[in-house]
Amino acid sequence: MGVLAGLLLAGADPASPGKLTYQKANDLFVARKFPESLAAVEEALRLDPNLVPALTLHAKLAMAANRYDLARQSLERALKVDPGASYAQFLYGMEAWMNNDMKAALPRFRRARELAPRDPRAALYLGLVTESVGKPADAMTLYEEAIRLERAAGQPQAETLLPGARLLLLLGRLDESGRWTRDAVKLAPKLRDAHFELARLLLKMGEPAQAAAEGELALTLSEGAVRDNAIHYLLIRAWQQAGKPDRAAAHAAVIRAQER
């Protein structure tokens, strides 16, 4: 969700009769004043129904409110006005992705990649969709491209590294997964997802004590999407294998307590 919020907060290109009103709406959006932003962007669209940045912002607000149907309408209108609007195209892909509509997401993200070949987000999300439809090798190429673009721009992100790290782990390419994961940990030492992935890797590599240490660290971190129970489950196995059944039992007890 953090990644989505970041994506929604990014990118705009104002220029039209409703420009000033749109600008105000965008400022309010950045300030997370969403109801006020919505009122302003609707006013901007009243002034200029074809203002692409306003349509795009309207879509972002709709997606933030889980109104993907409205988001789709705004984005389709924006892309009709300007088929080359790369950010609107990317969000159009996101709309499908968030609805698990892989059939629609795939061509939308492909088009987004064509429109913005240097945008790592389009590569990353096209990679995620490609992995979802069962093409891991192609997905891995896209993850590599996404991180290459971020590195070229001097802004590598842990969130971009982790999908590749996870896929490499699934494919049994542990050494490569380890490189990606450790890079993610370096980039975002307070991100629980990175430490969790490192713990998974260490457990698979037969290092249960280190895996347990990473897992315990992950549990203390609040930033990230990995659920507590996933970490507890890993820690049960890590502590068991590390010869500390009492510590394993404590984590099992936490999960069971939540189930009652």
Partner 1 sequence: MFRLIALVVVLGGVACFAQAIRFEEIAAKSGLRFELQNGEAGGFHQIELTLGGVAALDYNNDGCTDIFFTNGAAIPSLRKTGQKFSNRLFRNNCNLTFTDVTDDAGLAGEGYSMAVAAADLDNDGFTDLFVAGVKGNTLYRNLGNGRFADATSRAGLAGVDPAFGPRWAVSAGWFDYDNDGWLDLFVANYVVWDADKEPRCGTPERQYYCHPDAYRGLPNQLFHNNRDGTFSDVSQASGIQSHIGKGMGVSFADMDGDGFTDIFVANDSVRGLLFRNLGNGKFEEIGLEAGVALREDGHAIAGMGADFRDLDNDGKPDLIVSGILNDSFLLFRNLGGRSGFEDYAQRTGLLMSTRQLTGWSLGMYDFDNDGWKDLFFALAHLMQLDRYLGRESALPNRIYRSVEGKRLDDVSAGAGPALQMAAAHRGAAFADFDNDGRVDAVVSAVNGPAKLYRNITASRSHWLAIRLRGVKSNRQGLGATVHVRLADGRDLYNHATTAVGYASSSEPLVRFGLGASPVADLVEIRWPGGRVQKLTKVAVDRIVDVTEEVEP
Establish if 102 lies at the interface with partner 1 (CB under 8 A): yes
**Choice from 45, 85, 106, 212 touching partner 1 (CB under 8 A):** 106
Cβ at position 65, least distance to partner 1 in Å: 14
231 contributes a contact to partner 1 by CB under 8 A: yes
Based on the shown chain and the rule CB under 8 A, indicate whether residue 233 belongs to the binding site for partner 1: yes
Among 1, 134, 175, 246, binds partner 1 (CB under 8 A): 134
**Three-state secondary structure string covering 7-61:** HHHCCCCCCCCCHHHHHHHHHHHHCCCHHHHHHHHHHHHHHCCCCHHHHHHHHHH
Place of tokens 């203002």: 51
* Binding status of residue 103 toward partner 1 by CB under 8 A: yes
Q: Is residue 207 part of the contact set for partner 1 (CB under 8 A)?
A: no
Q: Round to whole Å and give the CA distance between 129 and 124.
A: 9
Per CB under 8 A, does 137 bind partner 1?
no
Distance from C-alpha of 199 to C-alpha of 184, rounded to nearest angstrom: 13
Which C-beta is closer to partner 1: that of 113 or that of 232? 232
What's the closest the beta carbon of residue 113 comes to partner 1, in angstroms?
Answer: 18
User: Residue 206, interface with partner 1 (CB under 8 A)?
Assistant: no
Residue 64 engages partner 1 in binding (rule: CB under 8 A): no
If the CB atoms of residues 10 and 253 are measured against partner 1, the closer one turns out to be 253
27 lies in the site for partner 1, by CB under 8 A: no
Binding span for partner 1 by CB under 8 A among 42-50, 76-84, 147-155, 251-259: 251-259
Q: Give residues 161-190 in contact with partner 1 (rule: CB under 8 A).
A: 166, 170-172
Least spacing, CB of residue 52 vs partner 1, in Å: 25
- Least distance in angstroms from the C-beta of 71 to partner 1: 13
